[in-house]
Amino acid sequence: MSVFDKLLNKSFNRRKFVTGAAATSAAVGLGMSGRLFAQAADYKLPLVLSGDEVNLSIGYQTVNLTGSERTATTVNGSLPGPTLHFKEGQRIKLNVKNNLAHDASIHWHGIILPTEMDGVPGLSFDGIKPGETYEYEFDLNQSGTYWYHSHSGFQEQTGVYGALIIDAKDSDPVQADRDYVVLLSDWSDDDPNDIYANLKKMSHFYNRQERTMSDLWSEVKKKGVEQTWEDRAMWNNMRMSDRDISDVTGYTYTFLMNGATPAQNWMGLFGKDEKIRLRFINAAAMSIFDIRIPGLSMKVVATDGQNIEPVTVDEFRIGVAETYDVIVEPSADSAYTLFAQTIDRSGYACGTLTPNPEWRAEIPEMDRAPILGHRDMGMSHHGSMDHSSMQNDSMNGGSMNHSNMDHNSMDHSMHKGLGKAGMGSNNEIKHAPTEFGPHVDMRAEMPQSGLHDPGVGLRNHKKALGRKVLTYGDIYNLTPTIDRREPEREIQLHLTGNMSRYMWSMDGIKFADAEPLILTYGERVRITLVNDTMMTHPIHLHGMWSELETGEPDYIPRKHTILVQPGSKISYLVSADALGRWAYHCHLLYHMPGMMREVRVVKGKKKQPMMNHHNHHDNHD
């Protein structure tokens, strides 16, 4: 079986899935030490597990999240799986047994560990066969908020995920009276193989927010007939829609907070004058969320497990696989709604923070659905892209044979104009020959930096709604940068696709045809991601930190997942300090089969010595 087939794992037992719709009950959170959860009678409660050795079992479980019973794939019989709670410096052993009828796996997202422990079938290991147990064993040289999930087929969509919390070995700079995990996810009663097949047949299958006749008349009144006609013609010529914000929407998804639907309403209790730490984790398969707590400001203190200089905001966007820790100080006289609306405004997850379990806060209305514009196409405001030419290029390139190309030469490596570490790329945008053809329907010619962009649907919130929204440009590491070397080279990597055909790739090359991206052990490299699509992509590099260049070289923040805005670019530094084979991919589950590369770190000529920058508490004192 090929790596691609192992990742897609089409042998999933389709008979386990049927269709259905919404249930009600109550869910009360009691912090990380435990919780009460009213659910289907045979639904096993999620637990908090700790210790040096933990046993996990992946199996089938009946759940009722929509009013009808469905079969999920779960860890230890709960959805989400158990919260794993450890301490920095521990050496842990995780025995994972596979009780499914097909291969399984677990990837420890954001954890720095040996490649054979990373949990990616076809790269790290062969996967866990039915009936077998795989022993993961590694040291925890970091602390913070992380999570775990399957990297086999679509098991992540059907329930194989959970929180992973690591306490600091020394004093934690973030102090709170209560500590809650807020894990967000998306559930569908439909078989994920059917969801993927629907997208391949019709990419807008789940989009119920397309333009209507009423919208057309509104545009005519606002812009006039001629401008409206030009705008509509542009989108039609490109075979694109300015409403393509999310591939999979609330049409099929029920959005969950700690496994609870909005009707169930997860609850977290607090006392008078307490500071509460909320550990937000986006464990969804395809859903990006915008988080706010009406009536409360949030002090963001960590992202992707790494402590940052605290920044106070009213709202933040959390991409799939990202984590954010915030501190809130609620009044004991009120209840508050934790509101997580999807980026396309097709639905939301929610819960309640309250001093009294009898109190509920009002659930706010969702914001208006965003509409894509020139900026999201990588164009200037007035436009600079010859769309007719682009379309002709696509059609004329259909006979290109990528299988015989030297794909490793397509990584756009650059050695000139690198600029100072932490300040980002100065190099011009270049498109490889592999980006021209029917598999690529757009190329961003003038991508703007995504560093200070809150993202589509959030850009006018401060002015229009009085809500300050977090951007990557607001994030600075709490402690000084450890690896201060300048980058030795730059890799410009393009996120590409054809939306109407639902084809995803990097540099126009799908994962099955791509050669590994080679890094030399010890080198310091800059990666610049250019998003040549109109969708937001969360990009995850396994095994190494992605050090986001925010313009402050002395306090470069470390992340494991980078959200790349449509038609934009963003840069980060990587120290190639982990030998082996690593996955590098978009974390939208149905994009991953194409938009993925293998990164291979190999021994080469001697490099400058690297400091161990895994432990982010080295400089606290």
Question: 24-28, 101-105, 118-122, 564-568: which range is least confident on average?
Answer: 24-28
Closest CA to 186 of 261, 238, 96: 261
Least confident among 123-137, 189-203, 287-301, 511-525: 189-203
Query: C-alpha 584: how far from its chain's center?
Result: 12
How far are the Cα atoms of 306, 313, 544, 594 from residue 580, in angstroms, in the given order?
Answer: 24, 39, 11, 22
Say if CB 417 and CB 427 are below 8 A apart.
Answer: yes
Average pLDDT value for the chain: 83
Q: What's the pTM?
A: 0.84
- Can you give 46-115 as a three-state secondary structure string? CCEECCCEEEEEEEEEEEECCCCEEEEEEECCECCCCEEEEECCCEEEEEEEECCCCCECCEEECCCCCH
User: What is the maximum span of the chain, computed from C-alpha positions, in angstroms?
Assistant: 69
Residues 159/78, Cβ–Cβ less than 8 Å: no
What's residue 416's pLDDT? 58
- Residue labelled with tokens 């009946």: 62
Give residues with Cβ within 8 angstroms of 126, minimum separation 6.
none
pLDDT of res. 113: 98
Q: What is the pLDDT of residue 218?
A: 56
Task: Provide the token pair at 14.
Answer: 């389709």
pLDDT at residue 374, as a whole number: 61
Take residue 110 and report the two structure tokens written for it: 């954001």
Distance CA 517, CA 509 (A): 12
Tokens representing 10 are: 């089409």
In tens, the pLDDT along 263-277 reads 999 999 999 999 999
State residue 214's pLDDT score.
54
What are the structure tokens assigned to 448, written together? 């703007």
pLDDT of amino acid 379: 59
Q: Which of 178, 374, 170, 403 is nearest to 272 (CA)?
A: 178
- In this prediction, residue 460 carries a pLDDT of 83
CB atoms within 10 A of CB 438: 18
Predicted confidence (pLDDT) at residue 223 exceeds the cutoff of 70: no
CB 54 within 8 A of CB 84: yes
Average pLDDT over residues 433-450: 91
Q: Which two tokens stand for residue 436?
A: 């021209």
pLDDT at 253 > cutoff 70: yes
Beta strands in 226-269 (DSSP E): 253-257, 266-269
| Residue 606 pLDDT level (bands cut at 50, 70, 90) | low
- Decide which of 557 and 9 is more confident: 557
In tens, the pLDDT along 479-530 reads 999 999 999 999 999 999 998 899 999 999 999 999 999 999 999 999 999 9
The string of pLDDT tens digits covering residues 448-467 is: 899 999 998 898 887 778 89
Domains assigned to the chain: 3-175 (2.60.40.420), 374-602 (2.60.40.420)
Please answer whether residues 468 and 315 qualify as being in contact, where contact means their C-beta atoms are separated by less than 8 angstroms. yes
pLDDT of residue 40: 36
**Residue 410 clears pLDDT 50, i.e. is over it:** no
Output the pLDDT for position 392: 35
In the numeric block, which tokens belong to residue 615? 């432990």
Closest CA to 157 of 501, 598, 511, 587: 587
User: Is 449 exposed, middle or buried (CB count within 10 Å of its CB: 0-12, 13-18, 19+)?
Assistant: middle
Q: What is the structure's pLDDT at 225?
A: 57
CB of 451 closer than 8 Å to CB of 473: yes
Give the pLDDT score at 206. Answer: 79
pLDDT number for residue 616? 40
Encode 320-345 in three state secondary structure.
Answer: CCCEEEEEECCCCCCCEEEEEEECCC
pLDDT of residue 419: 83
Rounded to whole angstroms, the Cα distance separating 361 from 293 reads 10
User: What would the 3-class secondary structure string for 584-616 be?
Assistant: EEECCCCCCCCCEEEEEEECCCCCCCCCCCCCC
Distances (CA, A) of 430 to 152, 405, 419, 608: 34, 18, 17, 29
Taking the C-alpha atoms of residue 617 and residue 345, their distance in angstroms, rounded to an integer, is 38
At residue 587, the pLDDT reads 98
Each residue's pLDDT tens digit, 6-41: 333 333 332 222 222 233 333 333 333 333 333 433
Q: What is the pLDDT of residue 372?
A: 72
pLDDT at 235 over 50: no
Which pLDDT score is estimated for 574?
A: 98
Q: What is the pLDDT of residues 158-169, one digit of tens each?
A: 999 999 999 999
pLDDT the model gives residue 463: 75
Supply the pLDDT for residue 479. Answer: 96
Q: State the Cα angle at 55 between 53 and 56, rounded to 5°.
A: 135
